[in-house]
Amino acid sequence: MRAAGQQSTRWLRAIAHFILSTLGVRFLLALISAFALWWFVVGPTPDNSAGSAIGNYRTVPVVIKRAGNPADGYAVTGVQVAPPTISIQGSAPVLSDVNYVTTEPVDISGAKTTITQVIPLDLPPGVTSTTFSAVTVSIYIAPVIGQVSADVPITIKNLGSNLTASTTPLIVKVTLNGPLSRLNKLDIEPVVDVSGLGPGNYSLPVEVSAPPDVTVMIEPVAVTVTLSALS
């Protein structure tokens, strides 16, 4: 009797093990199939448009919006924004049309130097930023570099009271290079200094005064000066 009971117990255990093993494998296979189906339906899809998107998020560049113009003779030479990109969130149809975001306008009217400010973002309707609501903006402004040329008569400086002077040539060409805002205010006056000189012919340099940030070219650089005694 005992042997028969042990035999029955072994059979029951074997049947139970078979059922549990079979059901466990089927359950595992069903779970894997369900996960694969979910990933196929809602998983990330490639996005070839500007910016990068995963689900309902997208990373896009920040573009600075400017208002006004610098002062006359000045220009914007560069811009910088930190951070240069931000992450935004919204519905998929809305995000698909957003390739960049702009700042609120930065007023540069009449500016002569670089402007650095913290400026809020101007986000489209239905879009929020998951990282920043404002960025640091730098707009670099510098004088416009230009050139001015003129043919100008020579002025004799420190001429003795008993002398007269003439130059050959009478006129020189002066070319100035530098910030236009400064060039427009300069008086061009080529000068030859005859301090301490008596009657005679001299080859003397022509000089033009200018600020340190303005370069000067004179043609010719020297002229012939004739000094004569008054009769």
Q: Which residues are within 8 A (CB) of 53 and not within 5 positions of it... i.e. 6 or more apart?
A: 47, 59, 95
Q: What is the mean pLDDT of residues 27-52?
A: 50
Predicted structure pTM score: 0.58
Q: Compute the distance between CA of residue 17 and CA of residue 6 in angstroms, rounded to an integer.
A: 17
Task: For residues 75 and 86, give the distance between their C-alpha atoms in angstroms, rounded to a whole number.
Answer: 28
Q: Find out whether 121 and 62 touch, Cβ atoms under 8 Å.
A: yes
Task: Tally the C-alpha atoms within 13 A of residue 150's C-alpha that lie toward its C-beta.
Answer: 13
SS3 162: coil
For the segment 142-197, what is each residue's pLDDT rounded down to a tens digit? Answer: 999 999 999 999 999 999 989 999 999 999 999 999 998 888 888 999 999 999 99
Q: What is the pLDDT of residue 12?
A: 55
pLDDT of residue 21: 54
Instruction: Note the Cα 142 to chain centre separation in Å.
Output: 13
HSE of 59, CA atoms in CB hemisphere, 13 A: 5
HSE-CB for 157 with a 13 A CA cutoff: 11
7-16, 34-43, 130-139, 143-152: which range is least confident on average? 34-43
At 180 the pLDDT is 87
**According to the model, what pLDDT value does residue 46 have?**
42
Instruction: Report the alpha-carbon distance of residue 199 to residue 165 in Å, rounded.
Output: 9
d(CA 224, CA 192): 10
Confidence band (pLDDT; 50, 70, 90) for 217? very high
pLDDT digits (tens, 9 = 90+) for 81-140: 999 999 999 888 888 889 999 999 999 999 999 999 999 999 999 999 988 899 999 999
Residue 34 is predicted with a pLDDT of: 59
pLDDT for 182-205, tens place per residue?
Answer: 888 889 999 999 999 999 999 999
> What is the maximum alpha-carbon separation in the chain?
163
Give phi and psi for 107, each to the nearest 5.
-80, 120
